[in-house]
RNA sequence: GUCUUGUUAGCUCAGCUGGUAGAGCACGUCACUUUUAAUGAUGUGGCCGAUGGUUCGAAUCCAUCACAGGACACCA
């Protein structure tokens, strides 16, 4: 039952007492005329004034009481708004008669949202404060806040009740401010380059554009199932067919897979497509994009990430096959021989699925021996065709594609390629995917004939790229769980009956 | 999915080889007009995650389940 907690009960009683004495505990006529940050900036000169005060100035600030120290006839409280923290000095004799004793001391407590008006002064201890002559309760908090010193540290509570986490942990607010800035800067960067922001469907008849298990939903009026999109790729390419030459979309993708420190069922990515360009141009624009982000976020390009240190000035580039030997230390002579790779993997106790092609095995080698070693930003290029169903073949070597993935701190951050625009080749690759799907690979790409038809009308040579925004923000904020960069990460329901109610 | 560690008051945490449930903060009451996690006195507050088992007796031991953290696997 709601409100059964005894502390909540007590505070509800206080709200009732306030009502009875004519004070609305949820009053909304705020008179705020300054944020706390502005107050602190404007009054930074007070320390140098006579008596360390200026009674001619008057400000009204609002916020949540984070700390309260009642000392008889005077009290100090720490007030926090979005912009900062300010100490308020409240004394009995500066307020209307009986207000301090009957209202303030009895019914105001930590967690309440209040408003205080008064003049700036500096205390004996040297802290700029506000000397209150007006005091108003704006919102009574009936639930007590977590402990004032340790705050809230339990990760489960922090994720399930993010509002509490945000109230108690200023650095968490900071992380999400950076996240917001990254998205806003990303949008501006691409707009300034002449890209058009578009919105493509979230509900797809065929889950395409990536290899992943989709979520399924149902459209009642049409009696058909729809898939939450796993990637916007195929729709964005249709727009290139239609004549838009540079498009991007920043939005959510949904994948019905496991959850861990780097995977949430819904995650945010930017995908952009650029006609008359190749993956080589994407390497350049990616470097430029990172420079732009660091400059506008005002971040040093040498960033710590856990035990690692990442130099965002040091971008390097190496073909996948070459990286197997030079970075992964896989013997040079085996990397192009299926049987020798299988033998090698076996000797390293790495088991792989049966019937993998050479390209897939090279991918396995890369995952096992190279990926984790890529700390500074590294473009791995020239992926095998077998693991790149939507990428254009190299004109020089038809077994590899014009593709790169960007790795930072041992993690994939971006995936890009010159797009496959030969409709017949694309059709054949879909067919190969469908065969491996029939062979048991439930994440293989489905046939999308509508997309093939679109390609048939001709898509200009195009390069396209996807960047995982969540993982990028993790890098920039030194966070090691995707849940720490998602305001409301996916959580299992706490109670069993919630979990199974759908089945009944 | 596997392994592993957790789950005790609103919050942060103790609780040893099984023997009446503990502290700090918060909250109540009292004192205190320049404090800084204010201070001093005093008091209230528990389905010990859930269900079974072992035992004279379980927060503690065992099993199962739920949720969470970490690692691994999967997800190119």
List CB contacts of A454: < 8 A, sequence separation 6 or more: A237, A238, A241
**CB–CB of A287/A311 below 8 Å?**
no
According to the model, what pLDDT value does residue A210 have? 87
Identify the residue whose Cα has the smallest distance to the C1' of B39. A71
Cβ within 7 Å of strand B: which of A 401-420? Answer: 412, 415
C1’ B45 / CA A112, Å: 22
Beta bridge partners of A467: A270, A414
- CA(A119)–C1'(B31) in Å? 29
β-strands A266-275, A462-468 pairing: antiparallel
Q: What is the dihedral of CA A124, A125, A127, A130, to 10 degrees?
A: -40
How far is the C-alpha of A410 from the C-alpha of A129, rounded, in Å?
Answer: 48
Alpha carbon A222 to its chain centroid, in Å, reads 34
Nearest nt to the A153 alpha carbon by C1': B12
Two tokens, residue A87: 């100490």
Complex ipTM value: 0.90
Answer yes or no: is A76 CB < 7 A from strand B: yes
Dist. CA A311–CA A304, nearest whole Å: 9
Which class for A63: exposed (0-12), middle (13-18), buried (19 or more C-beta within 10 A)?
Answer: buried
Interatomic CA distance for residues A124 and A127, integer angstroms:
8
A5 CA to B45 C1' distance (Å): 10
Q: Which of residues 424-443 of A touch strand B (CB under 7 A)?
A: 443
User: Residue A338 burial (CB < 10 Å; 0-12/13-18/19+)?
Assistant: middle
Tell me what pLDDT residue A130 has: 98
Interatomic CA distance for residues A241 and A24, integer angstroms: 61
Could you tell me the distance in Å between the CA of residue A3 and the C1' of nucleotide B15? 30
Name which of A489, A426, A432 is nearest A459 in CA terms.
A426
Does the CB of A261 sit below 7 A from strand B? yes
Measuring from the CA of residue A156 to each C1', which nucleotide is nearest? Answer: B68
List CB contacts of A65: < 8 A, sequence separation 6 or more: A77, A78, A79, A108, A109, A110, A111, A112, A113, A114
Q: Which nucleotide is nearest to A363 (CA to C1')?
A: B76
Cβ-contact A95, A135 below 8 angstroms = yes
Strand B–CB A264 distance below 7 A: no
Q: Which nucleotide is nearest to A149 (CA to C1')?
A: B37
Please report, for residues A65, A191, A233, A274, the alpha-carbon distance to residue A102 in angstroms, rounded to integers and kept in the order given.
Answer: 18, 58, 64, 68
- A129: nearest nucleotide, CA–C1' criterion: B34
Q: Which residues in chain A, range 180-239, keep a C-beta under 7 Å from any nucleic strand B atom?
A: 210-212
Quick count: other Cβ atoms within 10 Å of Cβ A188?
12
- Rounded CA–C1' distance between A65 and B19, in angstroms: 45
Query: Does nucleic acid strand B have an atom less than 7 angstroms from the CB of A74?
Result: yes
Q: Protein A64 CA to nucleic acid B33 C1', in Å? A: 23
| CB of A308 lies under 7 Å from some atom of strand B | no
β partners of residue A464: A273, A417
* Strand B within 7 A of A478 CB: no
Query: What is the rounded CA–CA span in Å between residue A388 and residue A403?
Result: 8
What is the pTM for the complete model shown?
Answer: 0.92
Using the structure, give the distance in angstroms from the CA atom of A38 to the C1' atom of B34, rounded to a whole number.
Answer: 23
DSSP track, A382-421: --BGGG-TTBPBPSS-TTBBSEEEEEETTEEEEEEEEBP-
Per-residue pLDDT 10s for chain A (504 aa) are 578 788 999 999 999 999 999 999 999 999 999 999 999 999 999 999 989 999 999 999 999 999 999 999 999 999 999 999 999 999 999 999 899 999 999 999 999 999 999 999 999 999 999 999 999 999 999 999 999 999 999 999 999 999 999 999 999 999 999 999 999 999 999 999 999 999 999 999 998 888 888 899 999 999 999 999 999 999 999 999 999 999 999 999 999 888 888 999 999 999 999 999 999 999 999 999 999 999 999 999 999 998 888 999 999 999 999 999 999 989 999 999 988 998 888 888 787 777 788 998 999 899 888 998 999 999 999 999 888 888 999 999 999 999 999 999 989 999 999 999 999 999 998 998 888 777 777 778 889 999 999 999 999 999 999 999 999 999 999 999 999 999 999 988 876 444 333 332
Query: Are the CB atoms for A320 and A397 separated by under 8 Å?
Result: no
CA-to-CA dists, residue A284 to A154, A310, A379, A471, angstroms = 43, 19, 11, 20
What per-residue confidence (pLDDT) applies to A60?
98
From the CA of A500 to the C1' of B54: give the distance in Å. 33
For residue A503, what pLDDT is reported?
A: 33
Strand B bases contacted by the protein (CB, 7 Å): 1, 10-13, 24-29, 31-39, 45-46, 65-76
Taking the stretch 324-363 of protein chain A, residues with Cβ within 7 Å of any atom in nucleic acid chain B are 363
**What gap in Å lies between CA A429 and CA A427, rounded to an integer?**
5
Alpha helices in A129-169 (DSSP H): 155-160, 162-168
3-state secondary structure A226-254: EEECCCCHHHHHHHHHCCCCEEEEEEEEE
Q: Point out the residue nearest to B75 (C-alpha to C1').
A: A257
């Amino acid at each position: 039952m709601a409100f059964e907690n005894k502390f909540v009960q007590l505070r509800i009683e206080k709200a009732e007492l306030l009502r009875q004495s004519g004070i609305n505990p949820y009053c909304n006529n705020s008179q705020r005329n300054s944020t706390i940050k502005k107050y602190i900036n404007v009054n930074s000169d007070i320390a140098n004034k006579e008596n360390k005060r200026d009674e001619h100035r008057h400000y009204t600030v609002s916020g949540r009481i984070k700390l309260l120290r009642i000392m008889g006839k005077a009290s100090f409280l720490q007030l926090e708004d979005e912009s900062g923290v300010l100490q308020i000095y409240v004394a009995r004799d500066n307020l209307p008669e009986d207000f301090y004793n009957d209202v303030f001391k009895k019914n105001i407590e930590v967690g309440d949202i209040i408003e205080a008006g008064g003049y700036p002064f500096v205390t004996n201890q040297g802290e700029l404060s506000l000397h209150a002559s007006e005091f108003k309760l704006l919102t009574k908090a009936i639930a007590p806040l977590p402990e004032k010193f340790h705050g809230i540290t339990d990760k489960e509570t922090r994720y399930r009740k993010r509002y509490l986490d945000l109230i108690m942990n200023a650095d968490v607010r900071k992380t999400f401010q950076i996240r917001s800035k990254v998205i806003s800067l990303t949008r501006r960067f691409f707009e300034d380059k002449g890209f058009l922001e578009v919105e493509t469907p979230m509900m797809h008849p065929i889950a395409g554009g990536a290899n992943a298990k989709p979520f399924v939903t149902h459209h009642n009026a049409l009696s058909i199932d729809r898939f939450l999109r796993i990637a916007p790729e195929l729709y964005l390419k249709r727009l290139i067919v239609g004549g838009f030459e540079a498009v991007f979309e920043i939005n959510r993708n949904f994948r019905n897979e496991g959850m861990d420190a780097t995977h949430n069922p819904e995650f945010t990515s930017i995908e952009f497509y650029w006609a008359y360009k190749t993956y080589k141009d994407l390497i350049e624009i990616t470097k430029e994009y990172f420079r732009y982000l660091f400059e506008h976020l005002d971040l040093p390009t040498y960033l710590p990430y856990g035990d690692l240190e990442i130099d965002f000035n040091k971008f390097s580039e190496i073909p996948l096959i070459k990286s197997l030997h030079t970075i992964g230390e896989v013997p040079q002579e085996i990397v192009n021989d299926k049987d020798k790779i299988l033998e090698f993997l076996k000797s390293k106790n790495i088991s792989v699925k049966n019937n993998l092609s050479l390209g897939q095995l090279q991918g396995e080698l890369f995952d096992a021996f190279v990926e984790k070693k890529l700390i500074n930003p590294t473009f791995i290029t020239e992926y095998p065709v077998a693991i790149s169903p939507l990428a254009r073949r190299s004109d020089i070597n038809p077994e590899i594609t014009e593709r790169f993935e960007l790795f930072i701190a041992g993690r994939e951050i971006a995936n890009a390629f010159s797009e496959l625009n030969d409709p017949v080749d694309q059709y054949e690759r879909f067919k190969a995917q469908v065969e491996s799907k029939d062979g048991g690979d439930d994440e293989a790409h489905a046939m999308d004939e509508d997309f093939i038809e679109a390609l048939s009308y001709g898509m200009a040579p195009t390069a396209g790229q996807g960047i995982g925004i969540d993982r990028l923000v993790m890098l920039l904020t030194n966070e090691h769980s995707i849940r720490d960069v998602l305001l409301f990460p996916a959580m299992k329901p706490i109670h069993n009956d919630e979990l199974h109610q759908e089945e009944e």
